[in-house]
Amino acid sequence: MLLPIIMAGGIGSRLWPMSRELYPKQFLTLHGKQSMLQETLTRLAGLDIRAPLVVCNEEHRFLVAEQLRQIHQLAGNIILEPVGRNTAPAIALAALDAVATGDDPILLVLAADHIFADVGAFHQAVNLALPYAEAGKLVTFGIVPAGPETGYGYIQRGEQVKDAQGEIFKVGRFVEKPDRVTAQGYIASGEYYWNSGMFMFRAKQYLNQLGKFRPDILAACQQAMQAHQPDAGQDFIRVDKEAFFACPEESVDYAVMEKTDEAIVVPMDAGWNDVGSWSALWDVSEKDGQNNALTGDIFLYNTSDCYINTDEKLVAAVGVENLVIVNTKDAVLVINKSQVQDVKKVVEYLKLNQRSEYRRHRETYRPWGRSDVVVNETRYNVNRITVKPGGMFSLQMHHHRTEHWVVLAGTAKVTVEDKCFLITENQSTFIPVGSKHMLENPGKITLELLEIQSGSYLGEDDIVRIKDHYGRV
């Protein structure tokens, strides 16, 4: 059986303003009816697999857990990286966890943010690679190129593997993203594939090869996993922070695949797309008669070849073409489709000026539900809060702010100091400065409320958590 390892640690800044540091593209529903992470996992149906392991940033842990829960694949199978160290250490953590019980499974390493138009062809390539991974080879999947793309690295194939049951080749070399003339030469030769970043190998074989070529990375990961412990609710595997901080940063390509003699490449022609830009998303989206890809409430007149996505407001586009228009609750992007790589200029500006829009959305997701900042002023905020059944705030207090909670729908169980009581629709309660308090949804339906914060300081670091059900500090 295959053990899927899903790499979910990216940021995806090229899809700003929808993709942000605290809610990157792999958790968004951009293509299909599920998030990209969920699509990655459901795409595996039909393969002989175990429950997957997901490797993600610690800041995304509750988001990942909720998305796995929604598709019934949450089983203590989330490895938390305290800091990003690229793919070689991330895969090492997963491999070390996999062999901890003495087993040696075959790992199928996938990114959480890829699209496949032909799932059957994806399965076919995986099954073709399986016996070679079982025999100790380190398999990479090379995407049959659709054209001279300059945004991908390439893999040059070497000689065909002896007695192969299909087109399977030794890896000749890995090459970086080329210029257009070089890319055209690669395509003309017929010897090159796009580097997909997908792999298959035995866990112990990967660790052996990593120890051979990068023993420093392996040692740091081993130390980090030796002190690992389950986190809140047994959903998470938390590694030792100090040990992992000391781990060098390196991709699996540089650390192992470019150096080993055991690497082979299996071609894959499955309509693959890594959705690395808004134009790439337009490429794979359904379009109307004027070649527009549309999501949301949109009016068009004399408009063509556009990608338009709006989450709430009506967007009207008249007499325009070849644009990307993306509207979120707190930002609007308008950019020519030929210049979508320059979205990074916006993100760089936001970071430089310490604007929150590069990092978080107006609406943020929490382990108990979500919070939408409706009004944000210096001395008062108004948040619309949604608490799922069974969800609860931490027992907490604030030094600088009061809070007024007004229930819009459902029932809230409120604790203030030593008093515990219920409030329901159109009822409210007040939390004085310095009072220990907690809110819980004890009902069967979603709890909706308005939270009015007021005071001299309203920062998140004024939350003093006394007890937390979700293991937050």
The model's pLDDT over 350-405, given as tens digits with 9 standing for 90+, comes to: 999 999 999 999 988 888 999 999 999 999 999 999 999 999 999 999 999 999 99
CA nearest to 396, candidates 471, 461, 467, 452: 467
Of 263 and 10, more confident = 263
∠ CA(257), CA(142), CA(122), 5° rounding?
A: 120
Tokens 């009004």: give the residue.
375
**Which two tokens mark 159?**
């000689």
The architecture of the domain spanning 363-467 is Sandwich (2.60)
C-alpha span between 149 and 336 (Å, rounded): 19
**Percent of the chain surpassing pLDDT 90:** 88
Q: What is the mean pLDDT of the chain?
A: 94
- The per-residue pLDDT for range 327-356, each reduced to its tens digit, is 999 999 999 999 999 999 999 999 999 999
Q: What is the mean pLDDT of residues 411-422?
A: 97
- Where residue 244 falls among pLDDT bands split at 50, 70, 90? very high
- The per-residue pLDDT for range 85-127, each reduced to its tens digit, is 999 999 999 999 999 989 999 999 999 999 999 999 999 999 9
Query: What would you report as the CA-atom Rg of the chain, rounded to the nearest whole angstrom?
Result: 25
∠ CA(463), CA(468), CA(469), 5° rounding?
A: 145
**2-273, which class in CATH?**
alpha beta
Residues of the chain with CATH 3.90.550.10: 2-273
Residues of the chain with CATH 2.60.120.10: 363-467
Q: What is the mean pLDDT of residues 23-50?
A: 95
Q: What is the mean pLDDT of residues 163-188?
A: 91
C-alpha span between 39 and 369 (Å, rounded): 22
Task: With a cut of 90, say whether residue 46 has pLDDT above it.
Answer: yes
pTM: 0.89
Quickly count: other Cβ atoms within 10 Å of residue 350's Cβ: 19
C-alpha span between 445 and 411 (Å, rounded): 8
CA nearest to 87, candidates 105, 67, 106, 111: 111
C-alpha span between 88 and 358 (Å, rounded): 27
Burial class (CB in 10 A: 0-12, 13-18, 19+), 403: buried
